[in-house]
Amino acid sequence: MMDWRPEPFVLGGSGRAHLRVQGLSAGYGAFLVLRNLALEARPGLTVILGPNGAGKTTLLKSLAGLIPRQGEATVDGVALPTEPDRVVAAGVALVAEGRQLFPQMSVRENLELGGWLVPKAERARRLEQAFADFPKLRERATQMAGTMSGGEQQMVAVARAMMSAPRLLMLDEPSLGLAPRMVDELLAIARRIADAGTTVLMVEQNVKKALAVADRGYVLERGVLVASGPAVLLARSSIVREAYLGAPAAAAARPIPA
């Protein structure tokens, strides 16, 4: 059996993990996407912004061990493993772009799979906690995941990740393709998870809404970080206002260097 920590479940649990990344490079074969990145995700909610193809997904995948990476990545000073199973066992979970649920399995079964690393009794306890944290999912426990709405499926994907009681939760565009109300709901869930003690690192394209719920943020362009800082300052920076919020240059504040 693999290692597991009998930590309290996350919505109401703890963790407050601190991720530090130094000199990170990653890509696909000879194609290097990320070059020498330095960033951190402190307790709270950190958002990664940036245009399509910037390397946001590549960043999360490399941290999750799904693609090789070079450089240093630590969580609370301990090296982050490079194999996906060991990353999960180290308390780091990824909700990938596109959710990747098992559509022919029920909501409950999908959630149980999120707790596959932990003993059965603990898994049952966490499932109960997940239903308490996501009451909508309890109502839908026996529904096939593939028949749920996009927003509901995204909620299942987040709840499934929480079944591993992560200290660090990585979310790749949780609001992708959702109606505005569901976008707000998913971002509020991310905020609640961060407030309950799980560090959240989230990629988002809803720049305004993401900066409104985040504590800190980074802007990634063509594999390089071009700005970073507290979310309130980033929202006012010219680099974000001009490129992502459609504001005229004259009204903008000075950029924050990365």
**How many CB atoms lie under 10 A from the CB of residue 240?**
27
Within residues 7-36, the interface with ligand ATP by CB under 6 A covers 28, 31, 33
Upper half-sphere CA count for residue 93 (Cβ side, 13 Å) = 26
Minimum CB distance to Mg ion smaller for 44 or for 98: 98
Residues 104 and 124: their CA atoms lie apart, in Å, by: 21
Query: Among Mg ion, ligand ATP, none, what binds residue 55 when CB lies within 5 to 8 Å by partner kind?
Result: ligand ATP
Query: Among ligand ATP, Mg ion, none, what binds residue 225 when CB lies within 5 to 8 Å by partner kind?
Result: none
Which among 6-14, 52-60, 68-76, 228-236 is the span making contact with ligand ATP, rule CB under 6 A? 52-60
Which among 50-58, 118-126, 162-170, 237-245 is the span making contact with Mg ion, rule CB under 5 A? 50-58
Shortest reach from residue 25's CB to Mg ion, in Å: 18
Within residues 8-37, the interface with Mg ion by CB under 5 A covers none
Residues 173 and 97: their CA atoms lie apart, in Å, by: 6
- 154 near Mg ion (CB under 5 A): no
Longest dimension (CA), the chain: 60
- 57 near Mg ion (CB under 5 A): yes
Minimum CB distance to ligand ATP smaller for 31 or for 250: 31
- 46 near Mg ion (CB under 5 A): no
Select the residue interacting with ligand ATP from 50, 151, 166, 217 (CB under 6 A). Answer: 50
- 164 near Mg ion (CB under 5 A): no
Of 89, 67, 68, nearest to 78 by C-alpha is: 89
Residues 224 and 25: their CA atoms lie apart, in Å, by: 10
Query: Among ligand ATP, Mg ion, none, what binds residue 52 when CB lies within 5 to 8 Å by partner kind?
Result: ligand ATP
Shortest reach from residue 118's CB to Mg ion, in Å: 29
DSSP assigned state of 254: P
- Which amino acid, residue 42? R
- 52 near ligand ATP (CB under 6 A): yes
Minimum CB distance to Mg ion smaller for 57 or for 175: 57
Select the residue interacting with ligand ATP from 54, 93, 137, 148 (CB under 6 A). Answer: 54
- Which amino acid, residue 96? A
Upper half-sphere CA count for residue 140 (Cβ side, 13 Å) = 22
- What dihedral do alpha carbons 165, 166, 172, 173 form, nearest 10°? 50
Residues 258 and 251: their CA atoms lie apart, in Å, by: 21
Shortest reach from residue 11's CB to ligand ATP, in Å: 27
Is the distance from CB of 64 to CB of 84 less than 8 angstroms?
A: yes
Paired tokens of 112 = 């149980």
Minimum CB distance to ligand ATP smaller for 88 or for 203: 203
Shortest reach from residue 137's CB to Mg ion, in Å: 25
Count of residues for the chain?
258
> Where along the sequence are the contacts to ligand ATP (CB under 6 A)?
28, 31, 33, 50, 52-58
